[in-house]
Structure 1
């Protein structure tokens, strides 16, 4: 005997059938896409690789004074429809953008940039001649249509010159190229160049125009007779990529507009017939069965009406009956569509049943497992939250916040699962683990051999400053992380920093007063005023960042036991003492063996002290910190003597009320919970 259908499923199925019958014409039509960004922001764009945003301009490759290898991409967040399988239509499209290719060393040129369309919103390729489009070890992995603006002659890809444009389809060997200098355009001039790319689906023709002005030229630089309908998928992502190899070339995008056309909306039923104004109405004799037709018409109108009333009543009863449904059921209906929903079964299989051998980290809010997905061959990190009310609330906070954030220095959320009472998040796997493990693992094991190189450490400082600037000042709603520490900073394969663990983060409107909450975080990283008043602000994040910077520079934990005594040493106090004696450079990590840039070391140490100032007033903003680290602003003025603070009342919270989520199994001493404000 067949099992009766669940009332909620029956309701959903009935509503679907009704909506399908009523809204079917809308499903058959497709919308054209159009956007215009006179200035670029991260609200609609995602940055990958080495790309960055500064002053409304996207930089696609690293801005360095020495030759380096780099690749980066920027992608429009929303997928764009390019074909309609129902009507068998392929869209035409036009895009306009302004870019410049600069170089502090004209002799160190290469490799160029590209505008691309791809079915994948994670397009990021290798540096060098691969233009950030193709992975050098998997040449056929990335699918794309691209217009390349190539600034280096690479015989491997049949390049005609070191100043050309070309149409590429799933290969960097262009279908057709054109030398831009023949049209008076030098791609490497450093001047702002405006490009127009037009594809006419009906004419099966693609044109590319270039100009030093905002006026579109009459003749194109590149014209290709081609039918792109076989390559334009139903939905694709649009973006830009660039790369360098042993070069200081910079690739900047300053504005961007894009639009598709060619999709026709279905006309209303009343307009399907062409009726002339001079038409003479024809009278038709009434049928003997007229009353039967009227009766049928009445049932035809009343039937759907009764059905709708029935559905409304049935839905009201069902909603009332299922109001107490479990949290995860209601949660699924409200989730954003971005991250993928995994099944519990596939996550359990990928982690070998959440086996202890797959554990890569632990925290107060969950355990992190390494997951191997055999079907795709990919590796991810799965965070399994604890089965508590607090764990669920932190899980929801982390998911809702990080799902809407896009920055190259954030850990990428890949998906989620709410099933069998489990709360799981799936993240991009970071092969080099967390910053604290890289900084202290060898130290804990009594080894003093290799250490994290200074170039990586400085890059970590800049990356964290960049992502915190984004969270504090560039998001639609300000994000206060509240738990910045080295164990929450992950390192990718190239030791680039990725900030993670948003379980304690809070969203705030800009220019709004902070809300007093239960103090949460990790001792050693908490700002004095946060301990006193329980109000998290961007200044409390700045304090935590300062402590992390001192850890990066000194290779010491925020609170450590002296090797020759039982006395506990506060890192901020220790560095400030050396600063007051004019010996701050002696705070540098001894494991670096002096292999560091002294000016950069002083800059990091002074920034760390400035951010960790007990007085929140003089602390710089994260934007100012980023400018200092990039050499674009004067250093922070740090007093020789550490300021002392006194509060008008006792601490309102006991130590038991302060949440500390240090990883289980750490060697943190009990004295770690000492509070020192002076």
Structure 2
């Protein structure tokens, strides 16, 4: 193996023809793969050629021949004792002139400047070592000095010193390089840096900028790590097992707490019942916190797992086919108790409170998509909070219509949902539209007339008043005209827009929020002749058209068919 500087150097003085003084500094490292087995070392040389094809690759550092070595200076870092070459040991520095036999050799080491004591060095230990080769023209002397790199300056006393006129050895131009044999023992030889000076000292080498030696063999493990790692692993496993046991016990205690908190789910604590289960009021024994517990059985519990994942829960508990969801208890109950109360003397919500609830639910639907007023709960400050998911979140999209469940309250279901069974965000927009009419008008989807037989759809009733320029007359009379007429009419028009029978014509919830916040104008809405499609729409929603008291509205349908854009009509007719 050879590493040779590509350009030949002029060592001779042009006038005298003698080899001039020069200095070479080398930082190297030899790493033995097997500490107990020695292999050939490496060599620094100055020679007339870069071609060593006639040298023996497995002997004499890959550059020397047993005979006829002309014009060659070799400094060997030998880690193998070859009796044939009369080597002194397997760890020495040698100086060779045109021969495989050393002119001088010495055990690897250096002399301390302070004490003059000799310190041994092991060449193949992997230590970074520095070697200096200096030739003095006047004295024709060659000095070779070795030291570890941590020695700041070159030792004053060289390791080798011999008189030899290199003018009789080196040619006019010569090459500088390094060489080693093709090792069978897999020793590694590294030249980390070198410098050369003609008629001056070799420049100093910045140790900090040298490359790092690559790692050989497996990384040595810390004895402390070998002791600590098994202990830490065992401790981690113990912590995990303990945590699992604690979680199981906590889950068991939590299930029992819910049973006692609701007094065994007695009917007197029942506060609501919907499509997904019954809701009970309870009080936790330790914290005395009021909670609401939704109890879901059988298939409802399996479907409910999808429902409660992103609901705002205090906790949950599942045992066999029973799922218990724990919420904050809403002291003010559900919204429908305030807007559908027939007792004129009981408190109702002001318009400001209703509008606050509308905006709150619209914000929730933008993320959750939810439906009717009975699922809107009111906290202590009368803020609206959704109790369940909307249909679009509750059921997977794109499933087989024959296996898709239909849940919800009649009057709130979009016509396409009843027809196809597939929910989408726009089915929830339809439900939200009915919710807007319900909150603003204080009426349920069907309005009772003078007799129990005669009923009319809320959407028909609002459409008729709008067509007669009496839209403000549909606002809940319990408000006693104490409301913002512009906001009320805006909400009613948004509600009708959301109730469009064709899903693609309904706004998305982000647009609804922008309408409510006044960020974008509402499309220009003009009531047109209604088509007979409304009959199919209401039938799909589960109503009996024979009891409708406004047959003139059944002749045609177009909740809003002309959206020409442009101005927003704020006046109420």
TM-score under structure 2 length normalisation = 0.48
Larger relative contact order, structure 1 or 2 (CA cutoff 8 Å, min sep 6): 1
Which structure has the bigger radius of gyration? 2
Q: Normalising to structure 1: TM-score of the pair?
A: 0.41
